[in-house]
Amino acid sequence: MALVDREHMTELRSASDAKATALSAESDIQLQSVAYAINEASNTGLTRTIFRGVLLDNTKTQLESKGYKLQNYGEVQPENMTVISWNS
């Protein structure tokens, strides 16, 4: 679901629409953050980056479909840090 347009910000929408928008926004923002981290690392000659936070299933699917490899990182809560690599 798309974000709410500025002209519709004062309209009350259903709770299910608001939830769908929130989930979509969270996914979009995380994908942008991951893309930024990957591009920044690539620009400095690296072939991997560490993402701090829990990757959403949609983000994992998007990354794997584009050929990225994902590996949990850390010992305490490994799901909270993921190595994203693209050296193949």
Sequence spans of domains, the chain: 13-85
The reported pTM is 0.78
**Cβ–Cβ under 8 Å, residues 67 and 88:** yes
Q: 72 pairs with which residues across the strands?
A: 82
> Does domain 13-85 correspond to CATH entry 3.30.1370?
yes
Please give the average pLDDT of every successive group of 10 residues along the chain, which has 88 residues.
87 93 90 96 97 93 97 78 90
- In whole angstroms, what is the distance from residue 29 CA to residue 79 CA? 19
